[in-house]
Amino acid sequence: MSDDVAVVGAGMIPFGERFELGYYDMIGRAYKEAKSHVDHGIDDSDVDAAWLGTAYGTLSNDAEIVSGARLSGATGLKGIPITRVENACATGSDAVRNAAAAVQAGQADVAVVVGAEKMRDKPTDEFMKTVTNRPTTRGMTAPAFFAMYAQRHMQEYGTTREQMAEVAVKNHANGTKCEYSHFDFEVDAESVLDAPRVSYPFGLYDCSPQTDGAACLVLASEDVADSYTDDPVWVRGTGNSTVPYDMTKRDDYLEAEPTIEAASQAYEMAGLGPDDVDVVEQHDCFTFTELLNMEDLGFCEKGEGGEFVASGATRLDGDLPVNPSGGLKAKGHPIGATGVAQICELVWQLRNEVGERQVPDATTGLQHNLAGSLAVSNVTVVSTERD
Ligand code: COA
In a domain, 247, yes or no: yes
> In the chain, how many domains are there?
1
Give me ligand 1 centre to Cα 177, in Å: 20
> Does 143 contact ligand 1 (Cβ within 6 A)?
yes
In a domain, 310, yes or no: yes
pLDDT of residue 133: 66
Query: Torsions phi, psi of 109, nearest 5?
Result: -90, -30
- What is the sign, positive or negative, of the torsion defined by CA atoms of 239, 244, 246, 248? negative
Residue nearest to atom 29 of ligand 1 (CA): 124
Q: Tell how far CA 105 is from the center of its chain.
A: 24
User: What residue spans of the chain are helical by DSSP H?
Assistant: 23-37, 57-61, 68-75, 91-104, 124-132, 142-157, 161-175, 189-194, 257-270, 287-296, 305-310, 327-331, 335-350
> Does 201 contact ligand 1 (Cβ within 6 A)?
no
Known catalytic residue at 283: no
Known catalytic residue at 37: no
Q: Which long-range contacts (CB under 8 A, 24 or more apart) does 225-230 make?
A: 225/4, 225/6, 225/8, 227/40, 228/8, 228/9, 228/38, 228/39, 228/40, 228/41, 228/42, 228/110, 229/6, 229/8, 229/9, 229/38, 229/39, 229/40, 230/39
Do residues 326 and 317 lie in contact, with contact meaning Cβ atoms separated by under 8 Å?
no
> Does 145 contact ligand 1 (Cβ within 6 A)?
no
> Does 181 contact ligand 1 (Cβ within 6 A)?
no
Where in the sequence is the domain holding 111, given as residue range(s)?
5-123+208-383
Among 37, 283, 333, 368, the one annotated catalytic: 333
> Does 250 contact ligand 1 (Cβ within 6 A)?
no
In a domain, 57, yes or no: yes
Please identify, by atom number, the ligand 1 atom nearest to the C-alpha of residue 205. Answer: 1
CATH code for position 92: 3.40.47.10
In a domain, 169, yes or no: no
In a domain, 84, yes or no: yes
Q: Which of 103, 145, 77 is nearest to 286 (CA)?
A: 145
Pocket probe for ligand 1: among 210, 328, 373, 374, the residue whose CB has the most ligand atoms within 8 Å is 210
In a domain, 290, yes or no: yes
In a domain, 138, yes or no: no
Residues 6+ apart with CB under 8 A from 290: 167, 171, 282, 283, 284, 305, 309, 314, 322, 323, 327, 329
DSSP-assigned states of every residue in 101-120: HHHHTTS-SEEEEEEEE--S
pTM for the full model? 0.97
Task: Walk along the chain (387 residues) and give the pLDDT tens digit of each residue.
Answer: 448 999 999 999 999 999 999 999 999 999 999 999 999 999 999 999 999 999 987 566 555 677 888 899 999 999 999 999 999 999 999 999 999 999 999 999 999 999 999 999 888 888 777 777 666 666 688 999 999 999 999 999 999 999 999 999 999 999 999 999 999 999 999 999 999 999 999 999 999 999 999 999 999 999 999 999 999 999 999 999 999 988 888 888 999 999 999 999 999 999 999 999 999 999 999 999 999 999 999 999 999 999 999 999 999 999 999 999 999 999 999 999 999 999 999 999 999 999 999 999 999 999 999 998 899 999 999 999 997
In a domain, 156, yes or no: no
